[in-house]
Structure 1
Amino acid sequence: MSESDVIQTIVRNPMILRQRWGPAIHALKNVLGSDENVVTILKKSTRNLNCTASYLIPNVELLQKYCGISSDKIQKHILRQPNSFIVKTDLLRDTLIKVELQLGIPRDSSMFLYGVHIWLFCGEKNIKDKCKVFMSFGWTQSDVMKLIRGNPMCFTSSEASIKERLGYLMNQLGYKPDYLAMRANFFTCSMKKRLLPRHQVLQILKEKGLLRMDYVFSSAVSLSESVFLRRFVLPFEEVHEVYAQLTGSTVESLNVRRCKSQS
C-alpha cells in the first residue's frame, strides 16, 4: 500500500489503528486475488478491517456454493459495491433466497448479483414501493418483474425519478408497459443527458428527412456518447445547437469534434 492509500484508509476507519493488519490483509488477499484489490476494498468499505475480512470470506464461499459463480465475477461485483457483500452471512443467505423467489432472478443469471445489491441497497419495502409506482402507470406485476430480471439496477432511481421517466416515456412518447419492460436501458441511463437530447435529435433529423432509416430510439439510447455523436450529431449542423443546449456543451466544441472526425 502506498502512503496515500494508508492515510486514506485510516481517515475512513480510524479504529484500524487499534487492529492487527497482517492476518486480515492476508485473508482478504486470498479472497480478492491481489494487493490492488485489497486496497480498493479498504478505500471503499465503511467497515473496519477485521470486520471486512470476517464477513467477506464466508460470504464469498456462500456465493460460490449458492450461485456457482466464478471467483473472478464475484470479485468484480465486490470491488464495484463492497458494502453490499460485507454483511452478516445470515443476512446475505436470506437475501439470495429472496432475490431468486421474490424478484424472480435465477441464481445462474448474470443479473443475480445485481439483484442482491439492489435488495440490500434499497430494502424490501423500498422495492415494493417502487413496484407500485410502475403499477400506477398501468404496468402489471409481470411487466415489473420482467424489467427487474432484465436489469435490477433500474431500481436505483428514486420514486420521483421513476415517475418522471414513466411520464415521459409513456405519456409523451406513447410507449406501452410490455414494450418498456423489455428495454431496461431506458431506466438505467440519465434522462436529462441521454434520453431527452437523443430523442430530440432523432426527431429533428427525421422531420428534415436526414435519416436514411427510421432508427429505433432504444437502439440510439444504448450507443456510447462518441458513437452517437459520430452518427447523429456531428454530420448534421441542423442539430448542433439543440444538442449543445440540452447536454450542457457548446456548438464550438461540437464543431471541433466534427473537424477532428473529418481529418
Structure 2
Amino acid sequence: MPAVLAASLEKTIKPKFKIFQDMGFSAEDIAEIISNDPENLHRSADSRLRPSLLVLKRLLGSSAEVTKVLKISGWYLSRDLEKSVVPNVEYLKSCGVGMEQIIKNMYKFPRFLVYSPKNMISSVKIVDEMGTCRSSRLFIHAVQVVGSMSNETWELKLRHFRNLGFLEDDILKMFQKAPRVFSASQTKISKVVEVLLATGKYDLSSIVNSPVSFTCSVEKKIIPRMQVLGILESKNWIGKWPSLSTITKIADSKFVEKFVHPYLYEVGEVYMANSALNIKKYEN
C-alpha cells in the first residue's frame, strides 16, 4: 500500500499504533498485524479500530489471543463486530455451544462468526432439521458448514447425494456423523463413490457408515489402498477386505505395516508410486 507513504505520520499513522500499544500489543505483534492488513492504517481509529479491538479482547480474553486471530484474519478490524460477531456468539451460546468451542472455530474458520446474524439463525434451523443434536460437539461444525454455502448451493449438494443413490435417511446419517464432508465438492463426492463402488467390496451403505471417506484424497489414499488390497486378494494373501472405516481412518504408517511391508516386493512399488507416502523408510 504505497499510499501509506503520503499519509500524515502524526495524524494518521501514530494514532493507530498508539491504540494497539495502549491495549498491550507488542511492537512485533503490531508490525505483523499491520503488515498482514495495511488497510488498518487508513481505518478510523475511534469508529472502527478501537471498538473492534475491544470486542475481540472482551471475547478472547487477552491481547495475545487477539493477535493470534488478527494474524490469521486482519479483516476482523474492518467489520462492525457489535453487529455480527457479538450477536452470533450470543446466539451460539444460547444454543448450548461453549465459548471454548466458539473460539476454536474462530481460529480455524475465521469468517464463520462474521456471517450475518440472519444467516447464522437460518443455518442453525437447517442443522436442527438435519437432526444434529445441539449438545453434540459436532453441532457448531455443522452450523459452520451450512453457513458457508448459499441456500441454493446447499440444496444442490443435497440433490447431488440423492442423484448418486443415497436415500434421505442416508444423507441425514452422514451429516450427523461427519458434517464437514458436505464441504467436499460435487466432483470429489462423485469420484469417491465411483472408486469405492468399482471395487465390488463396498456399497453405498458402507459409505454411509464411513462418510469420512469423502474427506480422503482419491488419488493419494483411496486408489493406492484399493490397488494394494486388490493385489493381495488376487494372490489369496488376505481372506477378507477390511471395513471401509478401517481403510479410511487407519494411518499411512499402520496401513504400510499391515498390508504393504509384509508383501513389499509384490505391492510396494504400486503403493509407493501412487500414494503420498514414501515407504522407503520402512524397508529394512
Q: Which whole-Å CA distance do the structure 2 matches of 1:125 and 1:178 have between them?
A: 27
Decide whether the 8 Å contact of 2:261 with 2:268 is kept in 1. yes
Decide whether the 8 Å contact of 1:186 with 1:221 is kept in 2. yes
| Correspondence 1:114 to 2:141 | yes
Q: Which whole-Å CA distance do the structure 2 matches of 1:235 and 1:7 have between them?
A: 54
Q: Which amino acid letter does the alignment assign opposite residue 15 of structure 1? A: E
Decide whether the 8 Å contact of 1:201 with 1:233 is kept in 2. yes
- Single out whichever of 181-190 and 209-218 deviates more from structure 2: 209-218
Report what 1:207 is aligned to. Answer: 234
Inter-CA distance 179–214: structure 2 relative to 1 (3 Å threshold): closer
1:177-256 equivalences under 5 Å are 177-211=204-238, 214-237=241-264, 238-247=266-275, 253-256=278-281
Report what 1:10 is aligned to. Answer: 34
Report what 1:41 is aligned to. Answer: 69
CA RMSD of aligned residues (A): 2.6
Inter-CA distance 257–127: structure 2 relative to 1 (3 Å threshold): same
Q: Return 5+ residue gaps in structure 1 as ranges.
A: none
- Single out whichever of 140-149 and 5-14 deviates more from structure 2: 5-14
Partner of 1:227, secondary structure, is: helix
Decide whether the 8 Å contact of 2:209 with 2:245 is kept in 1. no
Q: Which whole-Å CA distance do the structure 1 matches of 2:206 and 2:148 have between them?
A: 27
| Correspondence 1:57 to 2:81 | no
Q: Which whole-Å CA distance do the structure 2 matches of 1:120 and 1:46 have between them?
A: 21
Decide whether the 8 Å contact of 1:197 with 1:247 is kept in 2. yes
Shift, 1:151, TM fit: 0.9
Report what 1:133 is aligned to. Answer: 160
Inter-CA distance 257–3: structure 2 relative to 1 (3 Å threshold): farther
Shift, 1:197, TM fit: 1.0
| Correspondence 1:164 to 2:194 | no
Partner of 1:153, secondary structure, is: helix
Inter-CA distance 88–130: structure 2 relative to 1 (3 Å threshold): closer
- Single out whichever of 45-54 and 106-115 deviates more from structure 2: 45-54
Partner of 1:47, secondary structure, is: helix
Q: Which amino acid letter does the alignment assign opposite residue 192 of structure 2? A: R
Shift, 1:133, TM fit: 1.8
Decide whether the 8 Å contact of 2:112 with 2:148 is kept in 1. yes
Q: Which whole-Å CA distance do the structure 2 matches of 1:16 and 1:152 have between them?
A: 35
Partner of 1:229, secondary structure, is: helix
Q: Which whole-Å CA distance do the structure 1 matches of 2:257 and 2:222 have between them?
A: 17
Q: Return 5+ residue gaps in structure 2 as ranges.
A: 1-24
Q: Which amino acid letter does the alignment assign opposite residue 138 of structure 1? A: G
Q: Which whole-Å CA distance do the structure 1 matches of 2:122 and 2:153 have between them?
A: 17
CA deviations over 1:61-116 (Å, ceiling 9, x no partner): 221112x1222122111211010122222321222122212x33222222211211
Q: Which amino acid letter does the alignment assign opposite residue 196 of structure 1? A: I
Decide whether the 8 Å contact of 2:174 with 2:208 is kept in 1. yes
TM-score (norm 2): 0.78
Decide whether the 8 Å contact of 1:143 with 1:181 is kept in 2. yes
| Correspondence 1:25 to 2:53 | yes
Decide whether the 8 Å contact of 1:99 with 1:105 is kept in 2. yes
Decide whether the 8 Å contact of 1:234 with 1:255 is kept in 2. no
Larger radius of gyration: 2
Identity, % of aligned pairs?
A: 26
TM-score (norm 1): 0.83
Report what 1:258 is aligned to. Answer: 283
Inter-CA distance 258–39: structure 2 relative to 1 (3 Å threshold): farther
